[in-house]
Amino acid sequence: MRVLVVADIHGNRAALEAIREPCDVCVCVGDLVDYGPDPAWCVEWVRANAAHCVRGNHDHGVAQNVDVQGVGGFRFLTAVTRPLSVAALAPAQRRYLADLPTVLTVALGGKTFLLVHATPRDPMDEYAPPELEFWKPRLAGLKADFVLAGHTHMPYALRTGGTTVVNPGSVGMGRDGDPRASYALIDGDEVQLKRVSYDVEATVKRVHETVPDATACEMLSDVYRTGALQPRWLKKENGNGNGHAPG
């Protein structure tokens, strides 16, 4: 069975449309919204195409309309785009995000998959580096062939104690210096971490059409084009007075 794993779509329609991987089932490990200009379209894509999905921290924030005080960097971008995401989604779409589980175990192709956005210990928020020593205590006692997680926007696959941890990276907003859409394909025991180019300028154009804050537009455009938050934003004061943008 070919399992397509996507995560951290963040409202980037052009990136999501570029993934045309043949599969038997698609699963999503959260963060459909915020940052990107087309959150409603991305929510509908997941509802139509992902057989299983868990809630990410940004999904939770948009569903509950959690206010964010942006002080810089990605937190500043969340503060700017959160109200835009909330306004773009219909009530039923926000209810869909709110109803998503934070942890989900499913059987696919004779394998057991545990889905979380971050880690089994802290399903929505814990940052999980690609380190076996970090993951070993978080996998202790789990009966799963695969643990699927996102959140870091950096793809990796690790195997320890009979469990394979797969982070597919980010479909819509790379943070590892590669601007291409990232995803994973699992076929039996084989894990492929894959990338696909997409029309970045289409996303940049949509950002400038939908995001009124000029600084946020520039920052987002940089991230989409380079796959990382550029150093020029690390000490540059945001134009709306929200302070400096740390790394």
**Which of the four pLDDT bands, split at 50, 70 and 90, describes residue 70?**
low
Q: What does the DSSP 8-state code read for residue 28? A: E
pLDDT in tens, 7-59: 999 999 999 999 999 999 999 999 999 999 999 999 999 999 999 999 999 99
d(CA 26, CA 51) in angstroms, rounded, equals 6
The domains located in the chain, with CATH, are: 2-101+168-233 (3.60.21.10)
pLDDT at 234: 62
pLDDT at 230: 81
* Tokens (6 digits) for 99: 């109803």
* Tally: H helices and E strands in the chain: 8, 10
pLDDT at 242: 31
Mean pLDDT of 149-169: 96
pLDDT at 232: 76
d(CA 53, CA 117) in angstroms, rounded, equals 9
* Tokens (6 digits) for 93: 């779409």
pLDDT at 2: 98
Query: In this model, does residue 142 exceed pLDDT 90?
Result: yes
pLDDT at 181: 98
CA Rg, the chain, in Å?
17
Buried b (16+ CB within 10 A) or exposed e, 157-193: bbeeeebbbbbbbbbbbbbeebbbbbbbbbeeeebeb
- pLDDT averaged over the chain? 93
C-alpha distances in angstroms, 151 versus 27, 166, 212? Answer: 15, 12, 26
pLDDT in tens, 180-233: 999 999 999 999 999 999 999 999 999 999 999 999 999 999 999 999 988 777
